[in-house]
Amino acid sequence: MATDSGRFSAKLDVPEALTFDDVLLRPKESRVEPDDADLSARVSKNVELTVPILSAAMDTVTESDLAIAMAREGGLGVLHRNMTVAETAAEVERIKRAHELVIRRENVVTVSPDDTVREADTLMEREGVSGAPVVDEDDVVLGIISGTDIRPYLEVGEDDAVREAMTDEVITAPEDVDAREALELMYDHKIERVPIVDDGDGLVGLVTMQGILQRREHEEAARDGDGRLIAGVAVGPFEEERAVAADEADVDVIFIDCAHAHNLNVLDSARAIKETVDADVVVGNVGTREAAEAAVDFADGLKVGIGPGSICTTRVVSGAGMPQMTAVSEVADVAVEHDVPVIADGGIRYSGDAIKALAAGANAVMLGSYFAGTDEAPGRVITMQGKKYKQYRGMGSVGAMKSGGGDRYLKEEDEDEEFVPEGVEAATPYKGSLASELHQLTGGMCSGMGYVGAETVPELHERAEFVRVSSAGQTEGHPHDVMITDEAPNYSPNE
């Protein structure tokens, strides 16, 4: 009987695939100082960031607090999807309401004069505001109520009507008010918020002292065309309802969140979602040229990463994956021909890894564990052996999948007696504020651009060259032959 000699052994005649530690950027002649480097780049066809950094859509990384912090620093926080559809919309609205110069009417939290003080307090606490206009059934502004007004009533008269507790001498401003005029009104009258009204005293918006000051403090924030913070949200590959709800809440970028987007059912659903929403749609995750070719005709961005994350076990559980530098470069080869931005998702431990990803063709990078230890991340703080850590788990872990993330890995709980996880639950060192972590990350990336002689990300794409690194070279690249006594904020020997 004839045999196909070499049929299987030929499968092992394979190309080499590389990750971050396998390469270094080749230093080149340069006049670029790190402070002159411009990291701004598109994260999708219609959304540009001052800082090309995204926080991962993980339930121990990104909720609205961290997303707001990311956007005001120029990056993008991508909300996880282990929450109800209504909660997703509310989180997007909270991001959009934060730092608005003029909070639009649909986003202004208001109360009725007939509400009780307790009801007003509960509403304000839930919505995260310290005060609210009081309006009648015709939306005419009758007064303002704040925490200061409410506090005495909570002790003795929480069932009293809001009309009894509110400040009824309201200072308002016309629709054409600018920031300077609003600030002068607040200063002159010693108030913190000014309702914007039309000619009939109907409420059309709200300006707050906090909003003006925050806008001045964060001039490099990532904002939409209306001056609101940029927001991103992850949706399951078949979650059109969540995508529509987020779109109606004015989300800027929707991320199709799947471990293996080169699945024909996922691609069909992603196309349908793209046709349904106004927001940009980024498809992920992909890791090969073929996957990029399958999605690039309709996607506004491509997210790259098959198993590189620190808490991901996809490669050892499934036997499938692609080292991240090779994955990014393959996808970028296709995407650049269609003007589609590429996001490198996962595997980034140091700022040097991030700039290598950009040099390999990515426009932006997404990180999870890097931000999971920050104050703004939702994970709980854990103390072990006298050191503080924060909870961090992969979306393929058992806990995350039970919380609703199973379809990211194309698995449903009612189909299997138990999940086959592709991630673990762990802890990451507590780091403090997100702003400090971003400063270290972007500072290192700008240093890398200086070494290459690239002032912008497009220049980096053109000028960057790599060299291969041996295992000895990798060892040489880290501090060696010494005992570190004072750790640097941007380097840990255990990473």
Q: Kindly report, residue by residue over 353-398, the tens digit of the pLDDT.
A: 999 999 999 999 999 988 999 999 997 788 888 888 888 765 555 5
Catalytic residue among 42, 81, 228, 408: 408
pLDDT of 334 > 50? The answer is yes
User: Tell me: the pLDDT tens digits for 88-127?
Assistant: 999 999 999 887 677 888 888 999 999 999 999 999 998 8
Predicted local confidence at residue 102, as pLDDT: 77
CATH assignment, 15-98+221-477: 3.20.20.70
Name the β-bridge partners of 152. none
Name the β-bridge partners of 140. 202
| 17-26: average pLDDT | 97
| 417-421: average pLDDT | 54
Using the structure block, give the residue that is written with the tokens 């498809």.
283
Binding positions for NAD(+): 257-259, 305-307
With beta carbons less than 8 A apart as the criterion, state whether 259 and 396 touch: yes
* Confidence band, pLDDT 50/70/90 cuts, at residue 474: confident
pLDDT of 267 > 60? The answer is yes
Predicted local confidence at residue 409, as pLDDT: 46
- Within 310-387, where are the H helices? 314-318, 324-335, 351-359, 369-372
SS3 content of the chain, % helix, strand, coil (to 5): 40, 20, 40
pTM confidence score: 0.79
476 Cβ partners below 8 Å, 6+ apart? none
Cα angle 274, 278, 280 (rounded to 5 degrees) comes to 65
User: Tell me: the pLDDT tens digits for 206-230?
Assistant: 888 877 777 777 889 999 988 889 9
Binding positions for K(+): 307, 309, 312, 476-478
Average pLDDT, the chain: 89
Active site residue 126: no
Catalytic residue among 105, 312, 446, 463: 312
Predicted local confidence at residue 356, as pLDDT: 98
Query: Domains of the chain: which residue ranges?
Result: 15-98+221-477, 103-214
Predicted local confidence at residue 401, as pLDDT: 55
Q: With CA atoms as reference, report the closest residue to 79 among 290, 261, 249.
A: 249
The share of the chain scoring above pLDDT 90, in percent, equals 61
Predicted local confidence at residue 417, as pLDDT: 54
CATH assignment, 103-214: 3.10.580.10
* Confidence band, pLDDT 50/70/90 cuts, at residue 287: very high
Binding positions: 257-259, 305-307, 309-310, 312, 345-347, 368-369, 392-396, 422, 476-478
Active site residue 312: yes
| 58-63: average pLDDT | 93
Binding positions for IMP: 310, 345-347, 368-369, 392-396, 422
| 227-251: average pLDDT | 96
